[in-house]
Amino acid sequence: MVGAVADASGTVDLVELQKKRKELADQLRKCETQIHQLETQYLEMANPQGNALRGYEGLLSSTSAAAAAEKKGATFRGEDRIFSGSSTTGRGGGGGA
């Protein structure tokens, strides 16, 4: 195993590997949490008529009054979460952490 810690007899130190696995799992969890927070921040601030996730067609066809009304009650859907939703271990990936 590349990069594995071995003792004098050449066997892999299971305790060290478990410790490394836990560290990596913690790093992954922190990274996914940060991605989810930044994605939420973007979705809350993005214009509902047009943004990088939904496209800009609605922005071109909307009137300013309709845009203001839609922005006031703007919400985002679970399928708008393309980044945190693509994780196999995160909140939207279905893998469970």
Q: Are 85 and 79 in contact (CB under 8 A)?
A: yes
- pLDDT at residue number 95: 41
pLDDT in single tens digits along all 97 residues of the chain: 555 555 655 566 888 999 999 999 999 999 999 999 998 888 888 776 677 777 777 666 655 545 555 555 557 777 778 888 787 776 654 444 3
Query: Residue 24, SS3?
Result: helix
Whole-number Å distance between alpha carbons of 60 and 15: 59
Q: Are 39 and 53 in contact (CB under 8 A)?
A: no
Whole-number Å distance between alpha carbons of 48 and 50: 6
